[in-house]
Amino acid sequence: MPSAYEQAYAESLRNPRAFWAAAAGEIEWLRRSRAVVDDSQTAKPIWFPGAMLNTCYNALDLHAQTGRGDQLALVYDSPVTGTLHRVSYRELTEEVARFAGALADLGVEKGDRVLLYMPMIPEAVVGMLAAARLGAIHSVVFGGFAANELAQRIQHATPKVVLTASCGLESGRVVAYKPLLDRAIEMTSHKPERCVVLQRPQQTAGLAGARDLDWAALARAGAPADCVPVNAKDPLYILYTSGTTGLPKGVVRDNGGHAVALKWSLRHVYGMHPGDVFWAASDIGWVVGHSYSVYAPLLLGCTTVLYEGKPVGTPDAGAFWRVCEQHGVNALFTAPTALRAIKREDPNGERCRRHDLSRLRTLFLAGERADPDTVTWAEHCLGIPVIDHWWQTETGWPIAANCVGLGALPVKPGSPTKPVPGYDVRVLDDDGRELPAGATGHLVIRLPLPPGCLQTLYRDDDAFRRVYLQRFPGYYETADAGYVDEDGYLWIMGRTDDIINVAGHRLSTGAIEEVLAAHPDVAECAVIGVGDTLKGQVPVGFAVLNAGVTRPPVDVVAELVARVRDGIGPVAAFKQACVVTRLPKTRSGKILRGTMRKIADSEAYRTPPTIEDPAALDEIRAGLKSLGFAGR
């Protein structure tokens, strides 16, 4: 007899309308759709056309009105400030309604953009949900990004209002946000009408003229706002992700499909139930924070944990286990990088054993490849299933996973198991032909995409089609490479473009190269992602200096590292570079980055027949060895 997973997966592909109609029954609609999906344009399906809802109502008011008002909606745990704050569904609903009213007083209306540049604090969640309550479109920018990265997003999203905090806290230091925001706005031709600043006690910020407003004073003056009905297809948020050009891509998420997919996924992929405690240990600036720190837990009526701290150092490698015990976490979702950091500090799992983790049922990993050693270590320490799964900013929820809510399947370490219901995953060769089991190729998803996936790229529909749909007509290109084995399990081998994955954060090597190339002493450069046991990948740079530069290379490298930190932010983890006299290129001038990556990771490679100067590879090899990478 087929398993629950097999039945659900087959039904989702055989009769997707019936499958998603049933899932949509879990959402409170203000007006139901005339059809489940309008897929007349296969590449851009409209899920639940004609339907109306409000995402904030489904995430808050619905629970407050139907018996969960006193249940905890959010637990804020900040070891860096020594703060613990618990908020019920009723309290969070009231706070969001008041802040939405304050935003409405500033002129924020349905369809306006509200940009958030904030640390991991409850007010960030309030700001997101308040925007959703008004039918506005929020765009959250990771607080670790530098001013020019923030400026790009302000210029592109053209927000009416920016929400920020006076500072963030990172690794024992205070990071002033307001000066970064001020500098970013100076760089842009679009000027937000208002900037609302939450003053934190660790550092206050100066407010400039009529543009800047104090968060607390504004919130006190706000009268509660009602939820604004929106169409299912209307945008809920824009989330910027790095592109191969180095320019950010604004992924657009709708309201209706997003609510349906996330509520369904938390129950059936993650095995959660209303009243459970779910902790996604991710910053809200990333898609995991959007989907599984904020929206999915609240849509399902769970308690979500918002953690302002690190896996180690706040105060030690037992921090995650302390949080799980103290707040009764039922499922934890984190990146393999976090586990590797914990494992490095506590290889025998002694700190783990000091805590009562009897309520922790499952540990989920995503954001980068989960190496079998780390998975095995976690399973041994915790004694619970450790589940790797695969998805992207663009999809918004898992593509492949061991769906514990549908009955867990046998685990194959290193594989994210099988496609999630709704996703028809195929493996194609360069010419678009489907490959047999075991053959590595391009991982693609047959169109139409299920609910909750990106609608388009903000203000760039042509790029949406070019980047994701053009190469393999009829399919969405994930830009990941991998294969499907004879049992139907997926194996993800790596990216097919120049996006690198640093501790679960997708970054463009092209963007880093632009920073290096702007140095007055640099003639040309290349950046590659090199395998790292802790972060998954780290960027390594190679710079060719202008003729006549006589300064010590070590001085130039130090300046390059500082420039990337200032230009992109500490999140880039750019710490290593070397000066070379030439870069390996083809005769047509293309830099052989793929070959350089293989040398760095000690992989076998073939010297391309089109290489202009084979000796250039020797210099790259020597440079990598000088930086501590073995090379070949």
318-367 residue pLDDT tens: 999 999 999 999 999 998 888 888 988 888 899 999 999 999 999 999 98
Q: How far is Cα 448 from Cα 424, in angstroms, rounded to an integer?
A: 9
Q: What is the pLDDT of residue 587?
A: 53
CA–CA distances in Å: residue 236 to residues 292, 418, 621, 628: 15, 29, 48, 45
Which sequence spans correspond to the domains of the chain?
4-309+389-446, 500-626
Q: How far is CA 270 from the centre of its chain?
A: 18
**Average of per-residue pLDDT across 506-513:** 75
Give the three-state DSSP class for 69: coil
Q: What is the pLDDT of residue 610?
A: 56
Q: What is the pLDDT of residue 112?
A: 98
Q: What is the pLDDT of residue 602?
A: 85
Q: What is the pLDDT of residues 152-193, one digit of tens each?
A: 999 999 999 999 999 999 877 899 999 999 999 999 999 999
Q: How far is Cα 610 from Cα 551, in angstroms, rounded to an integer?
A: 34
Any residues with CB less than 8 A from the CB of 502 and at least 6 apart, and which? 529, 535, 536, 537, 538, 539, 571, 572, 573
Give the pLDDT band (50/70/90) at residue 244.
very low
Strands (E), 317-414: 331-334, 362-365, 386-388, 400-401
pTM of the entire structure?
0.85
CATH class, 500-626 region: alpha beta
CATH class, 4-309+389-446 region: alpha beta
Q: What is the pLDDT of residues 376-413, one digit of tens each?
A: 899 999 999 999 999 999 999 999 999 999 999 998 88
Q: What is the pLDDT of residue 588?
A: 47
Among candidates 446, 358, 440, which has minimal Cα distance to 399?
446
Any residues with CB less than 8 A from the CB of 317 and at least 6 apart, and which? 311, 341, 342, 345, 346, 351
| Cβ-contact 537, 502 below 8 angstroms | yes
Task: Calculate the CA dihedral of residues 565, 570, 576, 578 and round it to 10 degrees.
Answer: -20
Q: Centre a 10 Å sphere on the Cβ of residue 426 and count the other Cβ atoms it contains.
A: 18
Q: How far is Cα 270 from Cα 265, in angstroms, rounded to an integer?
A: 7
- Judged by average pLDDT, the poorest of 106-115, 494-503, 515-524 is 494-503
